Amino acid sequence: MSSVNLVAREVAVKIVFYGPGLSGKTTSLRKVYETVRPAHRGEMMSIATEGDRTLFFDFLPVKVERVNDCTVRLALYTVPGQVFYNATRKLVLQGADGVVFVADSQPEMMDANRESLANLEENLLEQGVRLERFPLVFQWNKRDLPKALPVADLRAALNPRNVPDFETEALSGHGVLDALKAITRLVIQDLRVKRIVPPPRPATPALPSLGAPKGPGGLEAQLTQLAGRTPAISTPAPATAPAATTPPAMMPQRPSRSMPAVAPQVAPAVAPPGLTGQRPLGPASALAPSDLFDHARAAEGAFSSGDYGTCIQACLDAARRGLALAGEGPLGAQAYLLQVDGGDLLKLQTLAARSSNRVDDAAFALYVVMQIFTRLHAAGLPTPASE
Ligand SMILES: Nc1nc2c(ncn2[C@@H]2O[C@H](COP(=O)(O)OP(=O)(O)O)[C@@H](O)[C@H]2O)c(=O)[nH]1
Ligand SMILES: [Mg+2]
């Protein structure tokens, strides 16, 4: 399950390696483990293995530190491929943000590949997720074997949607990181579309070293390269060229030093989907949980047009609704729970009762709702079920 800490600009995503038994999922994960510098990963955990088979799952946490201004944490899982472990697969798949499907390129494995892909589709559907709208990439694995099927055959059978796919040899690691980069990019894009991850911040005038990766071999450098800022490493062309050669910027740009409390004119240059051509997101709507997005936009719109009274009313309404997400009870108790400044709330109520307001009053009201949104994020509210 993805989670986002907007204050620290940290995104945690869950990626699952799926596929039939023995296709190379555990080997792929092990390769990621060996490739990523120790400072950027935790220990690989393999749960209840017997012989070389994954009976429960493998888990590897990877931290991609400071890609531009955003820290990405990847929780990488594999599922047991054997048909009879479907309950475990469902469990591991729960809350996944994206899947790397590891297909075995051998002709005799095609039925198992198809069956596993159908099983993925079915298990996602049980969670209310449709595969065709879910971030997905393919590894065509075991390309080193002489009898490996042509990629065109694998694509025709398994990848009619033409999502990014990669020829891989998990044993040597060839192509594995490319697939991981691609799924990370797709997941971040998807989370942006869902407004879980904020849109990129505007680029600041470049200090030459700011966007540079920290080290030549890290996943961080690879991801930075994907963001299209500092090509540092040449990677082999993926099997699906168009999808991977024209990557849109996937990571937020480096921030200015401090976040302005209210300043619509410095709002991110990128409007969220569906809002193209309209006013760009302001800081309050960028922070707002989805239920309160319209309130935040209304407040910002009123602020921009000089209607400070409406702005303050919208903020007060958003503040009440936001605080209610902390649970039942009086406003003061909810504010206390969320560690929102009670004095600020009282002042907001006072401002809302006034017949005329100034620009700094409206700015203060926006500051109060942003405070609430930030505290809600820190507390993990609203939970996905309540949103
Ligand atoms: N020749 C070859 N063998 C591979 C490759 N990837 C994995 N294997 C082998 O396939 C077997 C199953 O791999 P594993 O990663 O355990 O599969 P999983 O069940 O999908 O986790 C192991 O013996 C691996 O060494 C590859 O790219 N080429
Ligand atoms: Mg395994």
Are 166 and 273 members of one domain? no
Q: Please check whether residues 14 and 153 belong to one and the same domain.
A: yes
Q: Does 203 reside within a domain? A: no
pLDDT at 357: 84
- Residue 87, amino acid: A
Residue 15: count other Cβ atoms within 10 Å of its Cβ. Answer: 23
Residue 293 lies in a domain: yes
Q: In a mutational test of the pocket of ligand 1, which residue from 22, 76, 116 has the highest number of ligand atoms less than 8 Å from its CB?
A: 22
Same domain, 271 and 132: no
pLDDT at 300: 85
Please report whether residue 229 resides in a domain: no
Examine the fold and report which residue of 193, 215, 234 is the final residue of a domain before the chain moves on. Answer: 193
Determine, yes or no, domain membership for 231: no
Report which ligand 1 atom has the smallest distance to the Cα of 23.
20
Rounded-to-integer distance, Cα 73 and Cα 16, Å: 14
Q: What is the 3-state secondary structure (H, E, C) of 196-209?
A: CCCCCCCCCCCCCC
State the residue range of the domain holding 111.
3-193
Instruction: Indicate if ligand 1 lies below 6 Å from the C-beta of 22.
Output: yes
Q: How far is the CA of 153 from the centre of ligand 1 (A)?
A: 21
In angstroms and rounded to an integer, the radius of gyration of the C-alpha atoms of the chain is 23
CB of 334 closer than 6 A to ligand 1?
Answer: no
170 plus 273 within the same structural domain: no
pLDDT score for 232:
32
Rounded (10°) CA dihedral 156, 158, 164, 167: -80
Asked if the structure places residue 216 within a domain, the reply is no
The four Cα atoms 47, 49, 53, 58 give a dihedral, to 10 degrees, of 20
Using N-to-C axis directions, what is the helix angle for 25-35 and 176-193, rounded to 10°? 90
Q: Which tokens sit at 365?
A: 């009201």
CB-based contacts of 85, cutoff 8 Å, min separation 6: 55, 79
Q: How far is the CA of 372 from the centre of ligand 2 (A)?
A: 44
Q: Is the CB of 26 under 6 A from ligand 1?
A: yes
The closest of 36, 185, 39 to 100, measured between CA atoms, is 185
Question: Do 180 and 270 belong together in one domain?
Answer: no
User: Which of the ligands is closest to the CA of residue 55?
Assistant: 2
Cα 315 to chain centroid, rounded: 28
Among 193, 218, 238, residue at a domain's last position: 193
Q: Let me know whether 42 and 154 are in one domain.
A: yes
Residue 108 forms part of a structural domain: yes
Per-residue model confidence (pLDDT) at position 32:
93
pLDDT along the chain (387 residues), means of 10: 62 90 94 87 69 68 66 86 80 90 98 97 94 96 98 97 97 96 89 69 43 44 48 36 32 31 31 42 82 83 82 90 84 84 91 88 94 87 65
With respect to residue 107, please indicate whether it lies within any of the assigned structural domains. Answer: yes
Number of domains in the chain: 2
Cα–Cα distances (Å) from 57 to 40, 70, 207, 380, in that order, read 21, 28, 44, 26
| 145 and 279 fall within a common domain | no
Determine whether the shortest distance from the Cβ of 21 to ligand 1 is under 6 A.
Answer: yes
Q: What is the pLDDT of residue 56?
A: 65
Residues 298 and 167 in one domain: no
> Residue 315: its pLDDT value, please?
92
Residues 288 and 183 in one domain: no
The reported pLDDT for the residue numbered 148 is: 98
Among residues 150, 170, 193, the one where a domain terminates is: 193
